[in-house]
Amino acid sequence: MKDMLELISRYLDHALTPDEMRELGDWIKSDPAHARQFAEQAFIHGRLRDVLVGEQFLREQNEPESAVASATQQKVSIPQAFSLKRRTRSMLPWLIAAAVVLIASLLMFSRSGKSQQNSSTITLAMAVDAVWDGPPPDADKPLALPAPLHLESGCVKFLTADGGSLIFEGPATFTLKSPRAVALGNGRLTARMPGGGLVVETPDARITDLGTEFGINADPAGSHVEVFEGRVQAALGTGPTQAITLTSQQAANIATGRVVMDPAGARPQRFVRTLARDISQLDVVDLISGGDGTSHRCGVGIDMKTGDWGELPAGGEVIPDGQYHRVPSLPVTDGVFIPDSAGGPATIDSAGHQFNSPTSYRGSFMPLWAGGPIPLPPPGNAPISSTLAGVDYSQGGHGLLMMHANKGLTLDLAAIRRLHPGQSLTRFVSLVGNTRLANDNPPAAASVYVLVDGQLRFSREAFTARNGAISVDVQLEPKDRFLTLVVTDGGDLTITFDHVIWADPALKLSMAK
């Protein structure tokens, strides 16, 4: 009986193979007592799920956001446990009838042959620079399940017969138990499953997909889950303890016996979400706003003196401190700095490359802004226009980086390549210009520079609003690591009206050779 209880449990977890499904069906139909036993187990499983998940979810929907965080610190009790046996008995006739329906479905499954088996298959659809510990799975061929696998490096994508996808990033150790059940020992997984139902188990957590796209990272410190679309249920991996429901753009950490909301929310740059080969360019505004270059995000700033990232106040004038500030919240952004020739060459990336950008004024103004509409500056200062050469780059279909002089920004090209395996960054392209009124007399002057690994690749000095939109096109090589954009005053002893924007900045892609 112990073996059959294990089969029932695995059936309720959607983890049975086709042969095991037929075995369970034969056992149920062989004896009414077996049908009764199956019905009791199914009822208990459903009742516990309703109590531990449903009631918790309902509470979350009715509590303010501040209460959710405190709820994650508490264990969920099981009310009215004493009535479970009585309620089971009262519903047994209905449950046994349900078991009979299950028998019919299992018989249909066992008779449907190859077509039904194919609907429960999972195949390796794509591999990029994949190195396996052990024999690699055959591409485009249904896997024999359960399939324990160890991906040492690279990325792989598995597809289920009903259109679900599982992307693993190495190093990762995992077992594909069924198209709806994965055991993730360590590593990163991004999953999208039509209709939900996927269950991912890690050493610390049990993540149940409720119809969504989500990412999960498992390592010795614990598990981290992020929801990109839809919602998931996050619970401890052991015992009927707490569970919380996460919705789009939320995240949680599961470790040391607790499930705790991550106030930073979902950060798509932590996960590889696509192995698509048809992406021709990445939106730099989206990258700086926390996306992967394809998700059209905008509306965040970076503090030039701290590296803080997010929805920041407009601020005012900033005095340079001669330091290079990392941006830990944003993997694709290596850091920021304030150019200051009076202070000597500036460090412009984490590798220590330096550049002595000419400036005649010591200071900067407002945070760097990735927009979207540009925030209003402090009172007494002129608004900064988002229109360059007659085009408003704050509107849909466009994007802008507002870098009022003096500012420097460095992107980590290796971190960007990681998000798009198998793709090569070939060029940085943008328009750049001063959006201040062209009829200012004299017009404000500014200069821009583009460097790659500390080497100057583009410059345009002392331009004004009268020069309109200036085209920038910088070639990139596979070995290039850091791309730096610099805006300074144009030697006119002031940064007043140096309203410089990079319009529709993008990184061009091609297939890696």
- Based on the domain organization, do 474 and 338 belong to the same domain? yes
85 within domain boundaries: yes
Q: What is the pLDDT of residue 474?
A: 98
- Based on the domain organization, do 92 and 141 belong to the same domain? no
Are the C-beta atoms of 390 and 470 separated by less than 8 Å? Answer: no
Find the CATH number of the domain harbouring 233.
2.60.120.1440
- Based on the domain organization, do 370 and 300 belong to the same domain? yes
- Based on the domain organization, do 221 and 106 belong to the same domain? no
Residue 10, amino acid? R
Tens digit of pLDDT for each residue in 40-99?
Answer: 776 565 544 443 434 443 343 344 433 333 333 333 322 333 233 333 344 455 445 555
- Based on the domain organization, do 503 and 413 belong to the same domain? yes
Q: What is the pLDDT of residue 16?
A: 67
- Based on the domain organization, do 264 and 301 belong to the same domain? no
Instruction: Record the tokens describing residue 366, joined without a space.
Output: 């407002």
Helix H or strand E segment including 61? helix 55-62
Q: Tell me the C-alpha distance between 36 and 11, whole Å.
A: 16
Instruction: Record the tokens describing residue 280, joined without a space.
Output: 């021709």
More confident residue, 94 or 486: 486
243 within domain boundaries: yes
Indicate the range of 15-24, 26-35, 334-343, 361-370 predicted with least confidence: 15-24
The single-letter DSSP state of residue 492 is S
User: Among 490, 483, 477, 487, which Cα is nearest to 506's?
Assistant: 483
Domain that holds residue 168: 121-270
The domain boundary residue, chosen from 209, 237, 270: 270
10-43 burial: b if 16+ Cβ within 10 Å, else e: bbbbebbbbeebbbbbebbbeeeebbebbbbbbb
Count of domains forming the chain? 3
68 within domain boundaries: yes
- Based on the domain organization, do 146 and 239 belong to the same domain? yes
Tens digit of pLDDT for each residue in 276-300?
Answer: 888 999 999 999 999 999 989 999 9
- Based on the domain organization, do 103 and 165 belong to the same domain? no
Find the CATH number of the domain harbouring 307.
2.60.120.1060
499 within domain boundaries: yes
The domain boundary residue, chosen from 238, 270, 302: 270
The domain boundary residue, chosen from 84, 117, 150: 117
Tens digit of pLDDT for each residue in 316-370?
Answer: 899 999 999 999 999 999 999 999 988 889 999 999 999 998 888 999 999 999 9
Tens digit of pLDDT for each residue in 380-401?
Answer: 899 999 999 999 999 989 999 9
> pLDDT exceeding 70 applies to what percent of the chain?
82
- Based on the domain organization, do 71 and 130 belong to the same domain? no
- Based on the domain organization, do 202 and 97 belong to the same domain? no
In the predicted structure, residue 38 carries a pLDDT above the cut 70: yes
In the predicted structure, residue 142 carries a pLDDT above the cut 80: yes
pTM for the complete prediction? Answer: 0.75
